Amino acid sequence: MISDRITSNLRRTFRESLLPKIGMVLLVSIVLMAVFAPLLATHDPTRTGYYDEGGNAYPPIGTEYTTQIAVDGEIQEVEVTADSAHVLGTNNVGQDVYSRFVYGARISLLVGFSATLMAMLVGVPIGLIAGYYGGRVDDALMRVADTMLAFPALVLALALIGVFGESPVYVPDPIVSLGLADGMPESIPIPGTVTIVAALVIWVWFARVARGEALSLRNEEYVKAAKSFGTTDRDVLIGHVLPNSVTPIIVLATIQVAVIILLEASLAYLGFSGTTLSWGYEIERGQDILRTRPWVSTLPGIGIVLTVIAVNLLGDWFRDALDPNLDEGQRGA
C-alpha cells in the first residue's frame, strides 16, 4: 500500500522545499480553527443586531467609515467607529464578522472533505471494475464519464439544485453539547444538496484514475499469477489492484478537495446553497455594501484563498513525491 519508498519520498520532498511546509502549517491551522470554532468564536455567529446606537455595522478595529442614514426622514451623515468587542467588525445584519469567519472554515472543510470522500467511495470501485474487466462495462463507463464531463460542474450543480432544492442538514456541535462553549449554536447547517452534487460532479475523475490503474495492472505478471492460483476477481481487485491505485487517488483527492471548496463557495455566492453560514454567502452579502463596508466581502474571500492554497500546496507536494505523471487536466470541475 504505502511503501517505505513513498514515505521516504514524501519526507525528502517536504524537507527540500518550503512550499509543503507552508501548506501544512496553513491547513493544520485552518482545520484546528474549524474544529474548535465554538471556543475561538467571540460571539454566536448567527446572532444579529451588533450595531452601534445608530444601527450601523461596526468596522474592523483600527478603522472607521462614514455612511448616510435617514433620521426622521432627513438624510444625515454619520461617522461609525470600531468596537473592541468586534475585532473584524460586523456585517449588514450586525453579525460578528470574526466569529463567522471562524465558523465558515467548518462549512468549507466539511463540504470539501465529505463530498470528496463520497466521490471516492463511488468512483473508485466503479473505475476498478471497469478497468479490470474491460469490454462493454468499460465502454459504458467511459461514455457515462464523457457525458458527466460535458456538463460544466457549476451548471450541473445548478440544474440538480433546481430539482432537489437546497436541503440543509443540521449537524450537532459536539463541543457545544459537551457544555464547553456556552452561547454558541447547538448545530450548524451543512448544505446537503450542494455536498451530494459536488460528489456527483467529481466521482468521474476518481473512476477514470482507478480505471487507468486497473487497466495497466491487470496484465501484470503477479496479477496473472494470483489469478492462476485461483484467487477470485474480488480478492485480486481488493488485494492487488486497489493498493496499487492508492497513491494516484490520494493525489487526485487532494486536488478535488480544493475544487469542491471553490464550488461550494460559488454556489453559496449565487444563493443556491440554502445556508447563510458560509464564506461564499458572506461574500455575496458583502457585495451590496462593497463601497461602505468592504471588509464584509474581503475577509471570507481571504479565508477561501488561504484554505484552497493550503490544499493545493499539499496536493503539489503529494504529486511531486508520489506520482509525477498526473497532470493538470485532473483539476477539472
Contact call for residue 257 and other proteins (CB under 8 A):
no
Q: Considering only residues 14, 36, 47, 323, which one is a binding residue for other proteins as defined by CB under 8 A?
A: 47
How far apart are CB 77 and other proteins at their closest, in Å? 7
Stretch that binds other proteins, among 176-184, 219-227, 234-242, 277-285 (CB under 8 A): 277-285
Give the integer Cα–Cα distance in Å for 267 and 284.
10
Nearer to other proteins by Cβ, of 17 and 231: the residue is: 17
Q: Considering only residues 9, 114, 231, 298, which one is a binding residue for other proteins as defined by CB under 8 A?
A: 298
Distance of alpha carbon 294 from its chain centroid, rounded? 24
Q: Considering only residues 258, 314, 321, 322, which one is a binding residue for other proteins as defined by CB under 8 A?
A: 258
Nearer to other proteins by Cβ, of 54 and 239: the residue is: 54
Contact call for residue 169 and other proteins (CB under 8 A):
no
Q: Which three cell numbers stand for residue 67?
A: 455612511
Give the integer Cα–Cα distance in Å for 43 and 243.
46
DSSP H helices, the chain, are 4-16, 18-35, 37-40, 97-133, 135-150, 153-164, 174-177, 192-217, 221-228, 233-236, 242-269, 279-287, 295-322
Nearer to other proteins by Cβ, of 242 and 308: the residue is: 308
- The owner of cell 519508498 is 5
Contact call for residue 243 and other proteins (CB under 8 A):
no
Q: Considering only residues 14, 51, 113, 133, which one is a binding residue for other proteins as defined by CB under 8 A?
A: 51
Q: Considering only residues 158, 226, 246, 250, which one is a binding residue for other proteins as defined by CB under 8 A?
A: 158
Binding positions for other proteins, 71-130, rule CB under 8 A = 71, 75, 77, 92-94
- The owner of cell 468512483 is 123
Q: For 72, phi and psi rounded to 5 degrees?
A: 50, 40
Q: Considering only residues 5, 15, 70, 234, which one is a binding residue for other proteins as defined by CB under 8 A?
A: 70
- The owner of cell 454556489 is 267
Task: Give the CA diameter of the chain.
Answer: 90
Q: Which three cell numbers stand for residue 159?
A: 440544474
Contact call for residue 132 and other proteins (CB under 8 A):
no
Contacts (Cβ under 8 Å, ≥6 apart) of 110: 34, 171, 190
How many other C-beta atoms are found inside a 10 Å radius of the C-beta of residue 144?
Answer: 14
Q: Considering only residues 54, 172, 183, 239, which one is a binding residue for other proteins as defined by CB under 8 A?
A: 54
Q: For 272, phi and psi rounded to 5 degrees?
A: -110, 10
Q: Which three cell numbers stand for residue 151?
A: 456538463
Contact call for residue 29 and other proteins (CB under 8 A):
no
Contact call for residue 151 and other proteins (CB under 8 A):
yes
Q: Considering only residues 286, 314, 318, 321, which one is a binding residue for other proteins as defined by CB under 8 A?
A: 286
Q: Considering only residues 144, 226, 246, 250, which one is a binding residue for other proteins as defined by CB under 8 A?
A: 144
- Mask 190-229, x = binds other proteins (CB under 8 A)? ----------------------------------------
